[in-house]
Structure 1
């Protein structure tokens, strides 16, 4: 290599290094993307869970058999050994086996395949459902006077006079405070079939006029008509809904978002769902990131103990395993 060529390569390298900080800065700025949104909005927001905790005896529609069961998970650490329950004492870990009578269980997301085989199942729902604007319409005061009250289009219009038009593509949750009856199955799904719901007129207005993404309600059925008229119309026209929603009394009518998570069970006609409201920083309910321990999660002075009679684990005994103690050394 001659001297002139070497000098040319050196000058190119020096020039490249001089522009590197600016290039890296631009690249870092592009890479940050939505991180800035987290720093400016979500890091100070308040988070409220809108989902019930699932237990073997959680309320379900009366037509489903009482066969939901939680059991200690079994396995084997040696391929020649028989399968046996994993326990903290013997193997250093535990698992759980779940048997569900139905996928219409607990707080749930109903895909239209629940009623119509030609529409989307739970695994076919788009990922764009993950985060949406949340509007909460309360009929709680009406339900106090009539437990069978059904949301009307007039109720939606009254909400809009206070808050403005329901946003297109939003999730509309109907607050009835029915969630406070959980987990008393007899009161939550009463034998007389009287519970708050959403009228067909209101659903058609919300979907056809306001073009919402989906609505949610606190009971386990859309409406209390003998043929579930509202739910029939929803599913037959390709719409989703949320059922068994909780804690809407802790969420503002406007200004919040909702995060939606669910398992993508192949061909599933329902889905156990997690709905989380993300509320403005000045809201009075909910928890901000960093206000409670997250990583690591807190050490609990009570340990989990399997309760065979109830078919679940409860914290009923003093924790006898030191923090940081590994299972196999």
Structure 2
């Protein structure tokens, strides 16, 4: 399990939503359940307004749990509360992804970031700003399928992820695309690697361009779905 932070206070000047608004027309992974809303009570008839909603555990901005990729691993309901309040760093690869939509984070990218901002300390969640959040309202551009139906969007590279896990002991990863794995990788290798332990994997984040490179604290609030493979999630960023 992720160890709790020793620091127990957050100093901030601003709070930013890192979660997209959930709606019926959001980009969806092929085969995922559609998002549905149904009104079940109305003010005029019932004295209150209430809807029923339905969506997949990995829809919208969401967190993945280890049991989504590893048999007999923990579900999202078993994450301790203290593991969901974590410091974060942001690595910006927008320049590279503008040229190559299949770009994957490299060790060289991490070392270049550290040269400017200092070493990535243990217990951080590494957020990857690819610029993809700007494509969210265009499902075709966001998933970027080719003629064979293969999606093309950036993600974390295997070597860089191994380095961050083994040499920097990070608490997890997050990204503004539909997956921490590059779109072409249908083996979900990065998810499998990170979630060998109950770490953080956040996908479909937004507003990463509003965060500083370091100093942000995340408050991550999944639905505690029993045995859940993941959950739509509210993520707040506390900016120092």
TM-score, with length taken from structure 2: 0.89
Equivalent residue, structure 1, for 2:36:
69
Question: Is 1:107–1:272's contact at 8 Å kept on the other side of the alignment?
Answer: yes
Matched, 1:103 2:57: yes
Question: Is 1:112–1:240's contact at 8 Å kept on the other side of the alignment?
Answer: no
Equivalent residue, structure 2, for 1:54:
22
Question: Is 1:133–1:167's contact at 8 Å kept on the other side of the alignment?
Answer: no
Query: Alignment length, in residue pairs?
Result: 227
Q: After TM superposition, give the deviation of residue 197 of structure 1 in Å.
A: 0.7
TM-score, with length taken from structure 1: 0.66
Task: In structure 2, list runs of 5 or more residues that go unmatched.
Answer: 1-7
Equivalent residue, structure 2, for 1:251:
211
Task: Point out the structure with the larger helix share.
Answer: 1
Q: After TM superposition, give the deviation of residue 249 of structure 1 in Å.
A: 0.3
In 1: Cα distance, 2:44 partner to 2:217 partner: 43
Matched, 1:183 2:183: no
In 1: Cα distance, 2:42 partner to 2:81 partner: 37
Question: Is 1:223–1:229's contact at 8 Å kept on the other side of the alignment?
Answer: no
In 2: Cα distance, 1:243 partner to 1:135 partner: 15
Matched, 1:197 2:155: yes
Q: After TM superposition, give the deviation of residue 150 of structure 1 in Å.
A: 0.8
In 2: Cα distance, 1:234 partner to 1:172 partner: 12
Instruction: Tell me the SS of whatever aligns to 1:64.
Output: coil
Q: After TM superposition, give the deviation of residue 236 of structure 1 in Å.
A: 4.1
Task: In structure 1, list runs of 5 or more residues that go unmatched.
Answer: 1-33, 74-85, 281-329
In 2: Cα distance, 1:208 partner to 1:63 partner: 34
Q: After TM superposition, give the deviation of residue 238 of structure 1 in Å.
A: 4.7
Question: Is 1:131–1:258's contact at 8 Å kept on the other side of the alignment?
Answer: yes
Q: After TM superposition, give the deviation of residue 48 of structure 1 in Å.
A: 0.9
Q: CA RMSD in A?
A: 1.6
Query: Relative contact order (C-alpha < 8 Å, sep 6+): which is higher?
Result: 2
Alignment deviations for residues 48-100 of structure 1 (CA, whole Å, 9 cap, x no partner): 111100012211111325x3311102xxxxxxxxxxxx211122211110122
Matched, 1:276 2:231: no
In 2: Cα distance, 1:129 partner to 1:148 partner: 31
In 2: Cα distance, 1:114 partner to 1:238 partner: 11
Q: Greater CA radius of gyration, 1 or 2?
A: 1
Match of 2:42 among 79, 82, 87: 87
Q: After TM superposition, give the deviation of residue 173 of structure 1 in Å.
A: 0.4
